[in-house]
Every structure is written in structure tokens, then in C-alpha cells.
Amino acid sequence: MCENWKSDLERWLAPFVCALRHKTRARMCPAYISGLIGAGERKSVQPMAARDDEVGYDQLHHFIASGVWDVAPLEKALLAEADRMVGGADAWLIIDDTALPKKGVCSVGVAPQYASSLGKTANCQSMVSLTLASHEVPVMVGLRLFLPESWTSDPRRMAQARIPEDRRTARSKPEIAIEEIDRVIASGARFGCILADSGYGSSGPFRQALSARGLLWAVGLSRRQTVYPADIELVFPAAKAGRPRKYHIAEHPPVSAEAALTDAKWQRISWRRGTKGRLACLFAARRIRVADGHKHRMRNQRMQRMPGEEVWLVGERRSTGEQKYYVSNLPPGMSLKKLAAAIKARWVCEQAHQQLKEELGLDHFEGRSWIGLHRHALMTMIAYAFLQSRRLEAAGRKKRRGTAATTKHARYPASNPRLFRATAANAMSALS
């Protein structure tokens, strides 16, 4: 990073500083973000303050952990900047979660829970993340803490962690994600499609909430999820006794998503170039209706869900033998190659998670409060957006010099924030 990055940061942060509307906070915000970006392995308050000759530990700690100020204006400024950089009809809004491993039990939201980055259950905090991405360039725009039942059932513990009153009720991760999506929509940020893994996509209410908002989506699905053929007939059974039937029922019972694709035609599809060559897997797709409609009691007294909206069911067979399943409400005429490109575009959020942790200290915060954790997370996202803006500017200069064509397939290693893919295969452009 060139020597003038701090002066560039000061200019770039002008809308954020203006949103703070306070002289002291206008000094602390750039100082905190400079500490996250600058040299030093540890990005918690104490070592950052020790490396800064102009601000002290007490000032930085008060700004991030206990000062009275609203994060909403900064969040709005971040969304505006993200939209400027990567927003548009070809952008993705990617929903995921990331785990912050912790020792002890006092940090807000910490509990034994599954950490996808570790591939196992661990003592950690889990945050729902939203990433706006286009041209394989991600900008993180939202991080919200998920509170497990061990926290929401303990009012005293929540009060000690200073969790806001309106956040003390139990919310699932899909419910938190919908709230965050509404915030992004309200900001005016532009995107064309929502992407999420099966932790969100297997939730019928989550998919239905997206459709109710008129959004396109492509999400993971459990292989055990029951589905119907797209052309399933609904019949109105005659009641032999008692009150007449109120609802139609499907003429055939549903089958699992896995079974629905067993006789499908599988094709080898390549969606982008990786560091070791083209990435490819076997894919199959067919139109189905997910069994997430109203519940109906069948003759055997078992409850069965009726067909919901018609969508794509997509299967993926990896070289390792692993199989994954997805559903999407992308248009019926969509080709299998374009469906695969949409589904696999989700990987860039993992790149953003890794950089926020390894380069900007997302998981280094040592406070215990709700407000401190979320302010620290917001500062790391603003720092990341700044770095992405510099990379995009550098790529633009390189393109203007006429060298971008030679770097069409250059890689953007997630572990190195100084390198940036100048031009890349744009997955979303395949949908246009």
C-alpha cells in the first residue's frame, strides 16, 4: 500500500465523518479505521491505541464501547458507498453467517454453536452477514449478532451485555437476514438477486418473504426437503363423513429433493477459472414446487404440506462425491449454465469474511457488550470498503493504460488485500 493511503482515507471518509456530526467522534472514527488498516497483527483497542501517537486508549475505547452515538447514519453511508462501487441490476446480495471464536462465556452472544469456518461446533459468536458483490468484487454491508437460546432465555445476562430492549427476543438467523435485507432495500442500494446457503434457503418462511418482496433468489436446500413435480395436479377430495374439505390436495405425495433429480440429465458445467484452471461440476435442474404450502391432514392422519410456488431445483455433484441442492425463482427459461453461475457466485462472501478477520481484525474485539461488538464490526466493514475502493481505482488505472486485457484471468487471492483482480468473468452478466 502506498505511503499516501492515510490522506486518501481521510478524503474517502468525508461522508462518514459528516454523518457523525460531532468533532471528537470525527477524530476517533478515522483513527480507529486507520488502526484496523495499518501495521500490527492485533487489531483490538489497546494495541491500536499504542501504535497511534495522536489518540489514547481511553478515547478509542469510549468511542467504540460506550460513547452515545447512533450507528445508523454510518450504516447508510456505507450502503451508499457500496452501491456506488458495485451496486446495480447485475449485483448479488449474499446472505451468510460468520463465526468469531471466543473463550469464556461473558462476551455477548458467545455460546457453543456451529462455526462453518471451523467445520464444527465451537464456543463462538455468530454474526449474520450481508455482502453486496459484482464482478466478483465483494463489499460487506451488514453484520448482525445472532443470540442463541442460552442468551434470550436469560434477561439478567442480556442486561449485563447491554443488549437493546428490541433485540432481546429470540430471532432465527433467517429472520435477522430478512430485517437486514429490508434495511438494504430501504437505503436504495441496488442488486439483482439474493444468494444464500441451505441454512437460510431451507427455511420456507425465508424464501416466501423474499418472494413477497418481489426479489429474485437462488438459495441452498436440504436434500431431504420434500418437493412436487411442477405439473402436479391438485384434486378436491370428497369427504365421506363430517364437514366438507376446505382445501385441494396433491394427487401424489412429495419426494425428497435428492430423489427428484435421480433420473435427471446431469451435465458438466464450468462457471469460472480458479487458480488451478477452470472450475467445473456436474449439474442438473428441473422445475418443481417445494412442499411448503399450507398443511393438510391426510387419510393416514399425517400432516402433509401442499405445493408452494413453482421454482428451479438444481443439483450439484462434486468430484469429491459430495452432492448439494439449491432452489431458485430465476426465470423458467434460464439455462443450466446460467443457473450454475448464479449459485456459485456466493463464494465471494467467504473471501470477504476471511479478509475482515485476517487483515482487519473483525474477530479481535475484546469487549463484551452488544454495542461495542457491532460498532467494531461496522468499522471493519468501512475499512474493507475503503480498501476495495482503492483496488477498483487501481484496476481502472490499469485498464486505462491498456493492460487489463492481459490480466483477464488474473486471480485475486483472498489472503492478500494488496492484490486485486483487474477484470474477471462476471457471473451476473450471464443473466443479462
- Residue 298 pLDDT: 57
- Residue 242 pLDDT: 61
Cβ neighbours for 165, distance < 8 A, ≥ 6 positions apart: none
> What digits encode the pLDDT tens for the residues 88-135?
999 999 999 999 999 888 999 999 998 877 788 999 999 999 999 998
**Is residue 92 within 8 Å of 134, Cβ to Cβ?**
yes
| Poorest-pLDDT segment among 15-29, 238-252, 290-304, 402-416 | 402-416
- Residue 231 pLDDT: 87
Cβ neighbours for 375, distance < 8 A, ≥ 6 positions apart: 64, 65, 71
Distances (CA, A) of 185 to 365, 383, 389: 29, 22, 22
Q: What percent of the chain has pLDDT over 70?
A: 86
- Residue 246 pLDDT: 64
> What digits encode the pLDDT tens for the residues 145-162?
999 999 999 999 999 999
Q: Predicted confidence band at 210 (pLDDT cuts at 50, 70, 90)?
A: very high
Q: What is the dihedral of CA 151, 154, 157, 161, to 10 degrees?
A: 50
State the Cα–Cα distance between residues 354 and 361, nearest whole angstrom: 10
Ramachandran angles phi, psi of 161, nearest 5° = -85, 5
Q: What is the DSSP string of 99-140?
A: EEE-SSS-STT-EEEEETTTTEEEEEEEEEEEEEEETTEEEE
Q: What is the mean pLDDT of the chain?
A: 86
Domain boundary assignment for the chain: 5-201+350-431, 217-329
> What digits encode the pLDDT tens for the residues 293-344?
767 665 555 667 778 899 999 999 998 889 999 999 999 999 999 999 999 9
Cβ neighbours for 305, distance < 8 A, ≥ 6 positions apart: 226, 254, 291, 292, 293, 294, 295, 296
**Is residue 27 within 8 Å of 15, Cβ to Cβ?**
no
Indicate if the pLDDT at residue 236 is higher than 90.
Answer: no
- Residue 404 pLDDT: 42
Indicate if the pLDDT at residue 407 is higher than 60.
Answer: no
Q: Predicted confidence band at 200 (pLDDT cuts at 50, 70, 90)?
A: very high
pTM: 0.87
Ramachandran angles phi, psi of 39, nearest 5° = -65, 160
Q: Predicted confidence band at 388 (pLDDT cuts at 50, 70, 90)?
A: very high
Which whole number is the average pLDDT over 338-362? Answer: 94
**Is residue 370 within 8 Å of 161, Cβ to Cβ?**
yes
> What digits encode the pLDDT tens for the residues 30-70?
999 999 999 888 999 999 999 988 888 999 999 999 988 99
Which whole number is the average pLDDT over 209-219? Answer: 97
* Residue located via cell numbers 443479462: 432
* Residue located via cell numbers 453461475: 341
| Poorest-pLDDT segment among 27-36, 50-59, 171-180, 401-410 | 401-410
Furthest C-alpha separation in the chain: 85
Q: What percent of the chain has pLDDT over 90?
A: 67
* The three cell numbers locating residue 196: 444464500
Indicate if the pLDDT at residue 431 is higher than 50.
Answer: no
Q: Which residue has the higher pLDDT, 252 or 180?
A: 180
Which whole number is the average pLDDT over 6-11? Answer: 89
Q: Predicted confidence band at 402 (pLDDT cuts at 50, 70, 90)?
A: low
Which whole number is the average pLDDT over 352-375? Answer: 94
DSSP-based three-state secondary structure for 96: strand
- Residue 42 pLDDT: 92
- Residue 369 pLDDT: 95
Q: Give the DSSP letter of residue 169.
A: S
